[in-house]
Amino acid sequence: MRAFSYSPFFEVRDLIFHSGQEPKIVSFTLEPGGSCWITGPSGYGKSTLLRTIARLNLPSGGDMLLEGQSWRNIPAEQWRSRVLYVHQKSVMFRGSVLDNLEKPFTLRNRTAFIPDMRKAEQDLLRLLLPRDILKRDALTLSVGEASRVVLVRSMLVNPQVLLLDELTAGLDVQSRDATTDLLKEWLSVDGRALVGVSHESAPREALGGYEILLTTR
């Protein structure tokens, strides 16, 4: 009889990354619909860990597996689409908000993908953004407005794992709650998971999951 082999949906296995003088090592697993929160003192490498998971920084050792497949066997562009990092400082491009939502699909590896702009517009309204938001100059948005637009843009790419770096920082209570409600709905679709950094307890409590405290190796 063949032995049953189980692989978690997403696994970070003895991942070694550098932040400061000492290397740090992290392991965790996530099942579909799961979330985990990276905690630790300020300046201790939480954002660096997210960037390493996204392959924006190279790890010094260990492994990362998505649906049982190592990051080493997945092209970098494909990995970054499937395991997508949402930066703490929202990146907006020249042009309208609509132009910004369409921007990822002008890249060579995504030109065949047709984004659901109607769903995106509905999500922007759910996030309490104005009805004319698609026509607005993206570079004139407030920090809070831009962070919500970037979240919707990230969701349009249809990632399997979202890496959220202080997404709700700077949002008022109503906007923060609307954002966590949208993320909760996003997580309810099979084959998705979330890794986050947040100094606020409200998003962690609303979205559930468990915490990982960064320690030295």
Position 1 confidence tier, pLDDT thresholds 50, 70, 90 = very low
Q: Which residues pair with 15 in a beta bridge?
A: 26
The answer on pLDDT for 3 being more than 60 is: no
What are the backbone angles phi and psi of residue 96, rounded to the nearest 5°?
Answer: -80, 170
CB-count burial class (<10 Å; 0-12, 13-18, 19+) for 86? buried
Q: Which residues pair with 38 in a beta bridge?
A: 212
Residue 44: the pLDDT is 85
Task: Return the residue matching tokens 């920082």.
Answer: 169
Q: Which residues contact 1 (CB under 8 A, 6 or more apart)?
A: none
Q: Which residues contact 61 (CB under 8 A, 6 or more apart)?
A: 14, 15, 16
Q: Which residues contact 74 (CB under 8 A, 6 or more apart)?
A: 66, 82
Task: Return the residue matching tokens 């920090």.
Answer: 143
CA atoms within 13 A of residue 21's CA, in its CB half-sphere: 0
Range in 3-12, 36-45, 200-209 with the lowest mean pLDDT: 3-12
Residue 2: the pLDDT is 53
| 48: three-class secondary structure by DSSP | helix
Extract the tokens encoding 67: 């649906």
| 92: three-class secondary structure by DSSP | coil
In one letter, which amino acid is 194? L
Extract the tokens encoding 54: 């996204």
Q: Under CATH, to which class is 10-213 assigned?
A: alpha beta
Q: What percent of the chain has pLDDT over 90?
A: 76
CB-count burial class (<10 Å; 0-12, 13-18, 19+) for 123? buried
Q: 30: closest CA among 77, 67, 63? A: 67
d(CA 81, CA 168): 22
- Model confidence pLDDT, tens digit, residues 18-72: 887 788 999 999 999 999 999 988 888 999 999 999 999 999 999 999 999 999 9
- Model confidence pLDDT, tens digit, residues 138-181: 999 999 999 999 999 999 999 999 999 999 998 999 999 999 99
Q: 79: closest CA among 61, 54, 104? A: 54
d(CA 106, CA 12): 31
pTM of the model: 0.91
Residue 195: the pLDDT is 98
